[in-house]
Amino acid sequence: VLPSKPLGSGFQINFAKTARQNCLFNRGYEYMNLQNLAPISELYVSYESAQKLKLDAADLTSWDLTPRQICDLELLMNGGFTPLKGFLSEADYLSVLEDMRLADGSLWPMPITLDVPETFAQGLTLGQDIALRDQEGVILATMTVTDNWTPDKAHEAKLVFGADDSTHPAVNYLHQQAGAVYLGGPVIGIQQPVHYDFRGRRDTPNELRAYFRKLGWRKVVAFQTRNPLHRAHQELTFRAAKEAQANLLIHPVVGMTKPGDVDHFTRVRCYEAVLDKYPQSTTAMSLLNLAMRMAGPREAVWHALIRKNHGCTHFIIGRDHAGPGKNAQGEDFYGPYDAQQLFRKYQDEIGIEMVDFKHMVYVQERAQYEPADEVVGDVTVLNISGTELRRRLSEGLEIPEWFSFPEVVDQLRLSKPQRSKQGFTVFFTGLSGSGKSTIANALMVKLMEMGGRPVTLLDGDIVRKNLSSELGFSKEHRDLNIRRIGYVASEITKNGGIAICAPIAPYHTTRRAVREDVEAFGAFIEVHIATSLEECERRDRKGLYKLAREGKIKEFTGISDPYEIPEAPELRLSTENEEVDNCAHQVILKLESLGLIAG
């Protein structure tokens, strides 16, 4: 398979990057045989073949890729996922689950599969070619379907993530968002996904290898991150480069990360703001469009294989690498150094050396960062957790310079102003007739009286009439209706407004999905209106409960369909024997206590 020219019809790629000026790479140029710098295979066809395939693809069945699938496809096509030649076959998938190896024995710890709905999979035959398109319909690749199977997702979750626990974001994705059927087969790349942001910072594996070769970098240590760079990270990377006697590649992930993470636009601005703190002659930065799974130890091995494909010789593995946080029992999913232990087991086979580092803390008396387990003497150890940092940012409090760089803090404050200036969503949920809409209307009026931010009410009945009029009341349609409400609320929140939502929203997983959508941009306050079913039936102003009891309304929440009571809402209210004004005032008090509105 010949390499294509995905960046245009010319043969040269201009890096045009800081410390990379005039660094041109010709694809036909013979590489010197330096370790890790020989070109790796890409899955693109030639430019001429790609143009023909684009025309032929008009007759192919098309699949519009999800954001995660686009990330996976890009790294498949550009060689970042070498040795994979496409999405895993069923045999490869099962072998990866059980042994962290492909069917041919190659080390590979993460299942890379093309998940699709059952209805789409049923229309395919083995050996059929399909077109893989981005969300705007632009063709990126074709794939020959060699495998079509229904996986045991609970089994996958246990083996890959350690537990079938939906508090893990990737397990939740597996069960709630991923398609029911997996397709496998080789991929032929036509063109790279288009990125309009930070284009000068994005490199394929072969582009990075060419850059390292140009500068004569025989040893490169990569630093993986999904967070802004603070002073502890700088100290860690300095120490790692010194220990490995290597140049440093800051290689942050800009694909999908953990819900609630700082968006990659802000993070990259933070990285660029502190690059001058590093020696330019021995430091480079490149962005990796990877969709993380937060799989801890397995992910560490996966990340190392990807960095090897990008030409790196060393890789930093720190405390709780790619950990997702707490499980359903409130315990960490993985031990703090499990990733380092698994890496050591496979290090020789991976072909890249681990530089292991532990948690760094600031020692006040010595005015420096040190590994936490190496601190000696009667000294004052300072540290700020991620939770504490978010609190300080949201409340407009000082971030000390020993913790972070002023330039980083400035960028974080731009994207995350203090809470009293952020948009937010109040999400009422409860049975029909519980009083959601009435309280929501009262709350809207009170917030509009205060002024300062635009307020939008997304009432369940109004949304049904204007946004979801074609939907019925099956679980699938109810979920879709709530997701639409969540999408609109997230857009309002993102743009600094207040969204008040008042649907029934009976299902926990759908409410969680809406929370994750909104919390990417601001606060999400879930308010459970805990009015009893008996009281809701007694009110029954619309006569819906009577019709449901008579069997004339199917799948009615509380009667013939379940309502899953929120386990930990920010606020729980009962409207029985309570004035509407008092209920709305309790919400106001909650918003004040959270710093979202002024007291």
> Any idea what the Cα angle at residue 114 is, between residues 180 and 517, rounded to 5°?
70
Q: Name the stretches of the chain with pLDDT < 70.
A: 1-36, 599
**Burial level of 258, CB count in 10 A (0-12/13-18/19+)?**
middle
The pTM score is 0.79
pLDDT at 231: 93
367: helix, strand or coil: coil
Distance separating alpha carbons of residues 464 and 478, to the nearest angstrom: 10
CB 86 within 8 A of CB 184: yes
pLDDT at 501: 95
Query: Which one, of 450, 443, 407, 411, lies nearest residue 427 by Cα?
Result: 443
Type of residue found at 485: I
Residue 70 has φ and ψ, to the nearest 5°, of: -65, -45
Q: Which residue has the tokens 């790796």?
A: 40
pLDDT at 205: 97
pLDDT at 17: 36
**Beta strands in 125-246, from DSSP E residues, in sequence order:** 129-133, 139-144, 147-149, 181-189, 220-223
pLDDT at 439: 94
pLDDT at 6: 34
> Any idea what the Cα angle at residue 577 is, between residues 576 and 578, rounded to 5°?
90
Question: Is the dihedral angle over the CA atoms 489, 492, 494, 499 positive or is it negative?
Answer: negative
Query: Which one, of 575, 437, 565, 427, lies nearest residue 506 by Cα?
Result: 565
pLDDT at 5: 32
Type of residue found at 436: K
Active site residues: 225-227
Question: Is the dihedral angle over the CA atoms 218, 224, 230, 232 positive or is it negative?
Answer: negative
pLDDT in tens, 369-409: 988 888 988 999 998 888 888 888 877 889 999 999 999 99
239 vs 87, 317, 320, 464, 531, CA distance in Å?
A: 38, 13, 18, 57, 58
